Chain A
């Protein structure tokens, strides 16, 4: 009886797995297949070549990532990808600098505020992207901030908006990481050894949250790369990758499918890279804690 039930349970589990896998894989497979048919009667990578290597003169764009003063002439795929990568990296830096100390302080000193902080961090889920975008624009594009008057200000507004948008993911990742280590005792141990707060956060807490911070970084990167609404309103010249993808989707036939596959591969490479860094030397294993 038991053996029969367990066989049925296993079959059911496999069935669920196959359905879920098919739900994810079939659209990708069909997209891939479609992307290979850019030339009538042929199977080939023409759509990919169009996206990656043919810079039509009117589609060449200057990357003016002002904080770094970079000016490059690249095909639009690369320029938009580079721009969005830069925005994603800035967002990761800003959100880590804000979220890690905040979550740490809440855990250590005001744990009763955890539900309040959690409520605020999930607000971006409840607020539609377009509402957030208009809210930010109305508040910060006019006086006294007038951020959109300068390139740097617009970038700051974009990064600020992304930081808010990814808050549910970053805070939760860091929060889970903090729950896995005994931060109170580690903090007290460090303090008894003469460490001040910056040293505690940078040398004790942050290294032990490496996996959590990397997970948050991955999610931030994936969201920032594909974000459309805020990027499109702040940079109407379709400078961001999200805007570029939308533009290709509107104007081309086979290239959007190729672009989807390329984006998917890029994200997978990123996931593997982060997993590899996260695994590291195993020195952040939490054995013996708590």
Chain B
């Protein structure tokens, strides 16, 4: 049974539709990320769950209870903000204790919980410091502990790592996942960073222009994107434009490309876009059964562990990634190369 239910959520600001027909069931203990570009409605959806925005239409249920009209301070949800939002006038311990004090918890319980939370975020000994005496990463850990101290029904995180530098971001990302799994807490995580979403989530909701594009596991979202937007937004994408052939193939510049996916709704001659991940394309070497195309090299970029080759076939430009090794000889711009890829690596996108 779903623990958090979002039913036909819709949010309109004036003439702008921020979120349209958003349906989602989240299981207890599940980690779900809302992934999308700025303005796609992911934060608005999170804020509706938190109670900071009232849905124009739709309902929100937590553990069977309809909380759509419940004020935020009565929902028992923990929220972590991008800007940390620690109370500057309070110490770390007071920040963590704040929610418990609001709930009028006994002093002994508050003291014990603060101690537990400081241990959980590995910041014992920092209880008497103020937020301005902490680094960004430490502040965000305290914000996480503060949100968890009240034992929320759902933990909401609004781009919590965006303000941190890369190294701290990676560390804290692992920390968030560790704590979430240890506490088995239902979590909604908003991010525009696909790597974060892929690394952390049990499921990802990819959003675009207020709508859900695809909901799936990180593996599904990356390997089986259902729309061109998802394919392009999550990971690097190579697209080839062609036309549907008579025998279920796609013709790209007069060269046939076989797919495992049926072209059921396409008639011969209809335009078809196929998507490939750059790492699934092989240069000058093919396994039996692979598709082969002749392509022109437009440029080569050395990225350390990989060599990214810009290619074009019949006006479609795309990239192929080759793993770097000392025996690899990169092609040069203007060369003609044979590329190959497995039929199952290519997917038709809308």
Binding site for B on A (CB under 8 A): 181-182, 185-186, 188-196, 199, 203-204, 207-208, 210, 282-290
Contact = CB atoms under 8 A, between A and B. Distances in A.
B102 A193 contact: yes
A189 B89 contact: no
Contacts of B136: 288
Contact of B102 (A188, A199, A288): A199
Contact of A287 (B51, B71, B76, B132): B132
A185 to B, nearest CB: 4
Contacts of B302: none
Given A194-B99, A194-B103, A188 B72 contact: yes
A204 to B, nearest CB: 6
A194 B86 contact: no
B102 A194 contact: yes
A192 B130 contact: no
Contact of A194 (B76, B85, B88, B89): B76
Given A188-B85, A189-B81, 14 more contacts: A188-B50, A188-B81, A189-B79, A191-B51, A191-B52, A192-B72, A192-B78, A193-B73, A194-B74, A194-B76, A194-B103, A195-B98, A283-B88, A290-B83
A207 B132 contact: no
Contacts of B341: none
A182 B73 contact: no
B83 A289 contact: yes
A187 to B, nearest CB: 9
B9 interface: no
A287 B129 CA distance: 13
Contact of A186 (B52, B87, B132, B147): B87
B197 to A, nearest CB: 22
| Closest 7 A/B residue pairs (Cβ) | A287-B132, A193-B99, A207-B89, A189-B85, A194-B102, A192-B79, A185-B85
Contact of B73 (A195, A288, A289): A195
A188 B134 CA distance: 22
Nearest to B75: A192
B139 interface: yes
A193 B146 contact: yes
Interface in B144-164: 146-147, 150, 156
B87 A182 contact: no
18 contacts: A188-B50, A188-B72, A188-B81, A191-B51, A192-B50, A192-B79, A192-B156, A193-B98, A193-B147, A204-B89, A207-B89, A208-B89, A210-B89, A283-B89, A283-B130, A284-B89, A287-B88, A288-B132
Contacts of A189: 79, 81, 85-87, 143, 146
A283 B128 CA distance: 11
A185 B98 contact: no
Interface of B: 50-52, 71-79, 81, 83-91, 98-99, 102-103, 130-132, 134, 136, 139, 143, 146-147, 150, 156
B98 A208 contact: no
Contacts of A283: 88-91, 130
Nearest to B91: A283
Contacts of A192: 50, 72-73, 75, 77-79, 147, 156
A124 B81 CA distance: 41
Contacts of A203: 98
A192 B157 CA distance: 12
A290 B85 CA distance: 8
Contact of A190 (B83, B84, B98, B103): B98
Contacts of B78: 192-193
A212 B134 CA distance: 24
Contact of B150 (A194, A285, A286, A287): A194
Given A188-B72, A283-B130, A195 B85 contact: no
A191 B73 contact: yes
A159 to B, nearest CB: 28
Residue among A188, A196, A199 with the highest chain B CB neighbour number at 10 A: A188
Contacts of A208: 87-89
A181 B88 contact: yes
Nearest to B52: A188
B130 A285 contact: yes
Contacts of B88: 181, 208, 283-289
Contacts of B86: 189, 288
Contacts of A193: 73, 78, 98-99, 102, 146-147, 150
